[in-house]
Amino acid sequence: MNRLTYIGIFIAAVLILVAVFAPFIATHDPVVQNLLTRYAPQSAEHWFGTDALGRDVFSRLVYGARISLQVGIVVTVVSVIIGTIIGAIAGFYGGWVDKILSGYLFNVFMAFPGLLLAIALVAFLGAGLGKLMLALCIIGWVGYARVMRGQVLKVREFDFVQAARALGASNLRILFIHILPNAIQPLIVQASLGMAGAVLSEASLSFLGLGIPPPAPSWGTMLEESRGFDTLAAAPHVFFFPALAIALTVLAFNFIGDGLREYLDPKQRKR
């Protein structure tokens, strides 16, 4: 693995620690307002300054990491599980099952631009953390399912699968004990890239006011609140810190994904 991958792993580790120990790291309550200290610059009291309502930007960022990672992890894990099951069924059984799943269902879900479908779902369902995660899972699983189907199609032809069949193993056993462990590798790469995608999607929806309602300190909401001309002119730091946090997070998971891909696929390593 190259240096960037390690940088990615390091940033991700820091993020996880920050999210887990948020109450100990944050210096202020993330939602308490103090209009007397609006737009305060960086200081010993407020490390990253304060926002338009006098809230401590650093503390909001720290708690925001919780929301981002929570959404990222839940959405990725659930999407991977659903995608793996459906993709594996499509690839393993083939025939009309595959035609319905990969020929039709996958195409329908790929036909929507992901973000648009998420926006539509949240618009009709209403905002909130649970609904947002539901919407992101609905758009997220199909990517994993496609990869899984392709992998299972390949692996099911291997000799050890034939051997297991000859020994009288059931379909379920063959699929879960023999095929899946040998087919899951590319999904790991995709999951780390998907994690970046999920964090971004949450921020996007929150930015549009469709995610987690204020005053919860989502990074997307923080950007939305600070992107106005007046705030940018008066106190650009209110915008820059959350922007940096999102960029670093996404970069980190992209680095990890790219590094894992190279590591797992020797053909890529030479390039």
Name which position in 36, 96, 124, 166 contacts other proteins (CB under 8 A). Answer: 124
Q: Which stretch binds other proteins (CB under 8 A): 24-32, 59-67, 114-122, 156-164?
A: 114-122
Number of residues forming the site for other proteins (CB under 8 A): 41
Q: Which residues make Cβ contacts (< 8 Å) with residue 61, sequence separation at least 6?
A: 48, 217, 219, 222, 241, 242, 245
> Between vectors from CA 171 to CA 170 and to CA 176, what angle results, nearest 5°?
100
Is residue 7 a contact point for other proteins (CB under 8 A)?
Answer: no
Quote the least distance from Cβ 7 to other proteins, whole Å. Answer: 12
Which amino acid is it at 151? Q
Token digits of residue 233: 């002119």
Query: Judged by CB, which is closer to other proteins: 13, or 123?
Result: 123
Is residue 239 a contact point for other proteins (CB under 8 A)?
Answer: yes
Residue located via tokens 């659930």: 78
Cα Rg for the chain, rounded, in angstroms?
Answer: 22
Token digits of residue 110: 């790929």
Q: Are 180 and 171 in contact (CB under 8 A)?
A: no
Name which position in 36, 229, 266, 267 contacts other proteins (CB under 8 A). Answer: 229
Alpha carbons 65 and 18: distance in angstroms, whole number: 7
User: What's the start-to-end Cα distance of the chain, in Å?
Assistant: 13
Please report, as residue ranges, which positions from 187 to 206 form the binding site for other proteins (by CB under 8 A): 196, 200, 203-204
Name which position in 20, 32, 97, 116 contacts other proteins (CB under 8 A). Answer: 116
Is residue 208 a contact point for other proteins (CB under 8 A)?
Answer: yes
Q: Which residues make Cβ contacts (< 8 Å) with residue 243, sequence separation at least 6?
A: 223
Q: Which stretch binds other proteins (CB under 8 A): 29-37, 154-162, 220-228, 259-267?
A: 220-228
Binding interface with other proteins (CB under 8 A): 103-104, 107-108, 111-116, 119-121, 123-126, 196, 200, 203-204, 207-210, 220, 223-224, 226-227, 229, 232-233, 236, 239, 243, 246-247, 250-251, 254
